Structures are given as structure tokens and as C-alpha cells.
Homo-oligomer: A and B are copies of this chain.
Amino acid sequence: MDNSHEFYMKKALIEARRASSEDEVPVGAIVVYNNIVIAKSYNLCIKLCDPTAHAEMQVITAACGYLNSRYLDKCILYTTLEPCSMCSGAMYWSKLGHLVYGAKDEKRGFSLFKNHLFHPKTKITKGVLQYECTTLLTDFFKKKRKLKEK
């Protein structure tokens, strides 16, 4: 596996930890263009009171703004969690060049859908720093459950 994927996924993990510290579901994402991070964000659904405010949606919007283009065909998007159908759909419209993700989402991840939600040209790499990305999420929900039980 390309080591640079781990380098960038660590940056996405920093974003995910920010989400966690703000009591948001810890998912982080970044967009890389020509080896430069042009967008970074994390899940902001609670803060923005907006169910569409997933990390991936925000970095797609931000990266398109940065590039002044509706297409991210020359970009790599790193996200700590397998994207859902909404975010995969956004990646389709952006004609994303390459998606790299960490943890698997067994409840709402795109791989649950038989039909391919992505643009045919989008390359997909999965499982980068999967353990770290998954642990961040499972720890978060464990803490949530414990607080509920109290």
C-alpha cells in the first residue's frame, strides 16, 4: 500500500478527533490535489443542525470552491469512514478521481448497495489505517452508551 495514503489518512484522523472532542460522530475527511491538502473538515451534523453536514460533503464543497471547478477528477479524497450513499452520490457528481477510506461502515456504507454509486472513473482504496479509524468510532459510541446507562 502506498505509504502516502497513511500520511494523509493521519491528517483525516486529526479532523475526526476534532469531531469527537466536540461530541460529533468522529469522522474526518481531507481532499488532496497535487500533494497539497486543499480542504479538510469533520462531521458537523449536530453543530450545524444539518443531517447533510458529513465530513465528506463539506470537503467536496470546499475543494470545489478552492479549485473553482465542479469536478474533482484530479483529487484524492481521504475519509476515516466508508462513505454513505449521500456522500458517494456527491463524489459521483464531482467525478472524484480517487477515494481512500479507513473504517468500514456496515450499516450505511456504499458497499451495501449493489449498484455502483460512484463515477466509473473513481478509483477506490479501502482499509487505510482501518484499525485507528474504527477504534475512534467504537470508543466514541462506547462512551455514549455508558453515559446513557448512568
Tally of this chain's copies: 2
Q: Which of A79-108 contact B (CB under 8 A)?
A: 84-90, 92-94, 108
Q: Is B85's CB under 8 angstroms from A64's CB?
A: no
A87: chain B residues within 8 A (beta carbon): 86, 89
A residues contacting the other copy or chain, number (CB 8 A): 31
Q: Is B49's CB under 8 angstroms from A65's CB?
A: yes
**Residue among B65, B69, B89, B94 making CB contact with A89, cutoff 8 Å:** B89
Binding site for B on A (CB under 8 A): 45-46, 49-52, 57, 60-61, 64-65, 68-71, 84-90, 92-94, 108, 112-115, 117
List 4 additional contacts besides A85-B88, A92-B108; criterion CB under 8 Å. A50-B61, A52-B93, A85-B92, A86-B92
